[in-house]
């Protein structure tokens, strides 16, 4: 049975879309079947996966507004290795159209129900704001995966996100849980980074992933070539960091039995 994660943070520029591309690509390298759902009208996850957002026959907009089935709009992102429900600026119109629809918060949930049996994991890249698209993502998800920088303003953004999660749990998705926090753009030489990191671990405990994602030039360059860092430069620190994250992710979600195969898969990919 597929597990659905919403990758979200109401603060922009924290590595959300970078994670929505690179974690799935690393999981595919470990032989997992993955679907990425782009719910951001900017379409950055779509472009970063090597799919031209200006040349889509069908997109997440068509799925949410009932113009097509989910399976019809899904494409295979060759350069990333995973399947993709792509998005572009049309999604902005969906925000308005959804407001007048019945069960408007559940449109994505119902759409994914038709295809989720085909995947081990589904990741939803959310917009960096609270709107009807984000609400749809959080209603469809079982768990939330939160990328964040270890800085003061990130903590403020996290507090706002936790309030949002609480409201979603009360109103439309009582089973929603925090699946993990990922520290991004991490610099252990920075005192504030270490202070915020300690606060996160104190408050969230083992929800904070041990793997961290450092600032990395290759990681920043990869989206302009329409591919994850793993395929752009598998020897880069960014690619290796996301592989380590994927290994930890699998161990957490699938249990200790995954340990041996994960270590072997990472060796094969980086070797």
- Looking at the domain assignment, is residue 269 inside a domain? no
- Looking at the domain assignment, is residue 266 inside a domain? no
For residue 79, what are the domain limits? 3-261
- Looking at the domain assignment, is residue 68 inside a domain? yes
- Looking at the domain assignment, is residue 152 inside a domain? yes
Phi, psi dihedrals of residue 99, rounded to the nearest 5°? -60, -30
Q: How far apart are the first and last CA of the chain?
A: 31
- Looking at the domain assignment, is residue 268 inside a domain? no
- Looking at the domain assignment, is residue 132 inside a domain? yes
- Looking at the domain assignment, is residue 270 inside a domain? no
Query: 52 vs 84, 131, 197, CA distance in Å?
Result: 12, 25, 37
- Looking at the domain assignment, is residue 267 inside a domain? no
Query: How many whole angstroms from its chain centre is CA 117?
Result: 19
Q: For each of the chain's 271 residues, which pLDDT tens digit applies?
A: 689 999 998 777 788 999 999 999 999 999 999 999 999 999 999 999 999 999 999 999 999 999 999 999 999 999 999 999 999 999 999 988 998 999 999 999 999 999 999 999 999 999 988 899 999 999 999 999 999 988 877 777 788 889 999 999 999 999 999 999 999 989 888 888 898 899 899 989 999 999 999 999 999 999 999 999 999 999 999 999 999 999 999 999 998 666 545 555 665 666 5
User: Total structural domains in the chain?
Assistant: 1
Q: Could you tell me the CATH number of the domain that includes residue 55?
A: 3.40.50.300
């Amino acid at each position: 049975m597929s597990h659905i994660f919403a990758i979200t943070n109401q603060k922009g520029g924290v590595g959300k879309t970078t994670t929505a591309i690179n974690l799935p690509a690393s999981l595919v390298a470990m032989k997992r079947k993955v679907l990425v759902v782009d719910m951001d009208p900017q379409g950055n996850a779509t472009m970063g996966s090597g799919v031209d957002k200006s040349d889509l026959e069908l997109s997440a907009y068509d799925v949410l507004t009932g113009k097509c089935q989910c399976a019809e709009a899904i494409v295979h992102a060759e350069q990333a290795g995973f399947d993709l429900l792509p998005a572009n600026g049309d999604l902005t119109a969906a925000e308005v159209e959804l407001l007048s629809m019945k069960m408007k918060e559940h449109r994505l949930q119902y759409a994914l129900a038709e295809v989720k049996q085909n995947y081990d994991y589904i990741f939803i890249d959310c917009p960096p704001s609270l709107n009807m698209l984000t609400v749809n993502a959080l209603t469809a998800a079982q768990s939330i995966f939160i990328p964040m920088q270890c800085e003061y303003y990130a903590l403020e953004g996290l507090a706002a996100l936790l309030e949002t999660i609480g409201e979603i749990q009360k109103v439309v998705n009582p089973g929603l849980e925090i699946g993990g926090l990922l520290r991004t753009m991490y610099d252990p030489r920075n005192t504030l980074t270490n202070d915020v990191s300690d606060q996160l671990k104190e408050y969230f405990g083992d929800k904070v992933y041990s793997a961290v994602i450092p600032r990395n030039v290759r990681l920043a360059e990869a989206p302009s070539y329409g591919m994850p860092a793993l395929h752009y430069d598998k020897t880069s620190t960014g690619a290796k960091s996301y592989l380590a994250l994927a290994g930890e992710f699998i161990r957490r979600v699938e249990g200790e039995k995954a340990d041996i195969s994960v270590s072997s898969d990472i060796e094969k990919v980086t070797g």
